[in-house]
Amino acid sequence: MTKAPHRPESLVLFGADRPLRLESGRTLTDVPVAFERYGPPDPRGTDTVFVCHALTGDAHVARHRPDDAPGWWESMVGPGRPIDTDRYQVICANVLGGCSGTLGPAPLADRTAWEPFPQVTVADMVAVHRELLRRLGVGRLHAVVGGSLGGMQALEWLLRHPRDAGRYGLIATSAQLSTDNLAFNAIARAAIRSDPRFRGGAYRAGEGPDAGLGIARMIGHLTYMSGASLQAKFDRDLAPPPQGVPAEGDASWGPFSVERYLEHQADKLVARFDANSYLCLTNAMDLFDPFATPYEDIAGAEPDVHLFSFASDRLYGVEHSRHIRERLEKAGVGCAHFHEETARGGHDAFLMDVPDYLEAVGRWLAAPARREATAPGVVSLPTTRTQQPRRSSNDVDA
């Protein structure tokens, strides 16, 4: 069956009389924002879940119909899924600085002059999300949910605007990147900037630093998978050489299947993503440190906060979620529940079909909102073995 991609909706926000003031002090006007809506209309917002996407995601979180192209979170969003589109209205918007319909550092088109896009922060992304909801007339949300960079957006939303939603789901995310995280991002950005076609960022559409962006993706993808999942998937299996290389190979090409896999992931990202957006968004992640500045009275808002993490995640491991929980507890959020999952899929496990994790999210969203009487603590999901997550057919990564 031919897949007919759903076209996102779009609104232009922040007119000249109401500009978007970035944390840097710069202002932006006439900001187009691409978004998609699923499920029954919900003008009040009490049954609306706002989903925040990860680094290379977009507004297309799930299929709208059987012949639609798959979304990036099919395991989580849809009819009968944990974020049930038969029950909830779901909204997902491409982030500020992205390259899928929302304003970002687009390639040079017919213009002869090029200006760098201003640095944006996670707080700026959330400001755009909130303005979109205001324009749509959506009131207090049932929940804000996101993983990885999406989880950072959900945490920022919780700290600055806790009364916007009754629930906040922070999945496989961080409140402050480690030095190790910063180093991987620095190497990825260096790969992009060192590509001769980068041209200081002033490249034309279709003429960008594809090689550099592909290497950046290969570096990032290694942090999305666990060592155990790589070993199980590839071991030391050999693969035919790529097209154009003699069957007997040569010294410039490695023979292993894992190499071909990483090259495939690089090609997929280059076909759909922009290098300047990659630089912009990874910089925003590096700068993210929301507990370092004053935030709202979270405890007074009594939010229902759940943190989901994966023991095999070597990007934002369990220690990142524990740090968030400790800071929230100090802020008086007694319902910051912590779920540690044993699936071996690594960071990308949050996108996969991991039954206990998905069931826990569904139970949490469906349960009556209330402050728990018991003291906060680790909520271990009921697993009797290490789960083997099932990757969706679209093979989308964080």
Cα–Cα separations (whole angstroms), residue 326 to 157, 175, 329, 330, 332: 18, 11, 5, 6, 10
> For 31-45, what is the mean pLDDT?
92
Pairing, β 89-93 against β 141-147: unpaired
Residue 135 has pLDDT above 80, yes or no: yes
Name the DSSP letter for residue 239. Answer: -
User: pLDDT class for 303, splitting at 50, 70, 90?
Assistant: very high
Do residues 118 and 284 make contact, with C-beta atoms less than 8 angstroms apart? no
> For 168-174, what is the mean pLDDT?
98
For residue 355, how many other CB atoms are within 10 A of its CB? 14
Do residues 46 and 139 make contact, with C-beta atoms less than 8 angstroms apart? yes
Angle between helices 275-287 and 122-136 in degrees, nearest 10 = 100
Whole-number Å distance between alpha carbons of 336 and 326: 9
Residue 6 has pLDDT above 50, yes or no: yes
Whole-number Å distance between alpha carbons of 34 and 288: 23
- Of 75, 100, 148, 309, which one is the catalytic site residue? 148
Do residues 341 and 353 make contact, with C-beta atoms less than 8 angstroms apart? no
Residue 277, amino acid: S
Q: Which residue has the higher pLDDT, 381 or 148?
A: 148
Cβ burial of 263 (10 Å; 0-12, 13-18, 19+) is middle
In this predicted structure, what is the pLDDT of residue 112?
60
Residue 338 has pLDDT above 70, yes or no: yes
> For 293-322, what is the mean pLDDT?
94
Same fold flag, 9-177+289-380 and 181-285: no
Whole-number Å distance between alpha carbons of 83 and 306: 15
Q: What are phi and psi of 33, to 5 degrees?
A: -130, 125
Residue pLDDT, tens place only, 241-285: 777 777 666 777 888 999 999 999 999 999 999 999 999 999 999
Residue 81 has pLDDT above 90, yes or no: yes
Name the DSSP letter for residue 4. Answer: -
Residue 396 has pLDDT above 60, yes or no: no
Dihedral over alpha carbons 146, 151, 154, 156 (to 10 degrees): -160
Angular region, 172: left φ>0, alpha ψ -120 to 50, beta rest: left
Token digits for 279?
């630089």
In this predicted structure, what is the pLDDT of residue 384?
29
> For 109-115, what is the mean pLDDT?
65
Q: Which among 370, 308, 292 is positioned nearest to 334, based on CA atoms?
A: 370
Pairing, β 141-147 against β 48-52: parallel
> For 161-186, what is the mean pLDDT?
97
Active-site annotation holds for 313 = yes
Token digits for 255?
């023979």
In this predicted structure, what is the pLDDT of residue 375?
32
Residue pLDDT, tens place only, 43-64: 777 899 999 999 999 999 999 9
Q: What are phi and psi of 160, to 5 degrees?
A: -95, -30
The second-level CATH assignment, the architecture, of 181-285 is Orthogonal Bundle (1.10)
User: pLDDT class for 149, splitting at 50, 70, 90?
Assistant: very high
Whole-number Å distance between alpha carbons of 303 and 339: 17
Name the DSSP letter for residue 40. Answer: S
Token digits for 194?
């060192």
- Of 60, 320, 339, 347, which one is the catalytic site residue? 347
User: Where in the chain are the domains?
Assistant: 9-177+289-380, 181-285
Active-site annotation holds for 148 = yes
What is the fold of 9-177+289-380?
A: Rossmann fold (3.40.50)
Residue 171, amino acid: I
Residue 113 has pLDDT above 70, yes or no: no
In this predicted structure, what is the pLDDT of residue 245?
77
- Of 195, 313, 348, 353, which one is the catalytic site residue? 313
Helix then strand count (H, E) for the chain reads 10, 13
**Is the pTM of the predicted complex or chain greater than 0.85?**
yes
Token digits for 59?
């507004």
Handedness of CA 107, 111, 116, 118 (dihedral sign): negative
Cβ burial of 185 (10 Å; 0-12, 13-18, 19+) is buried
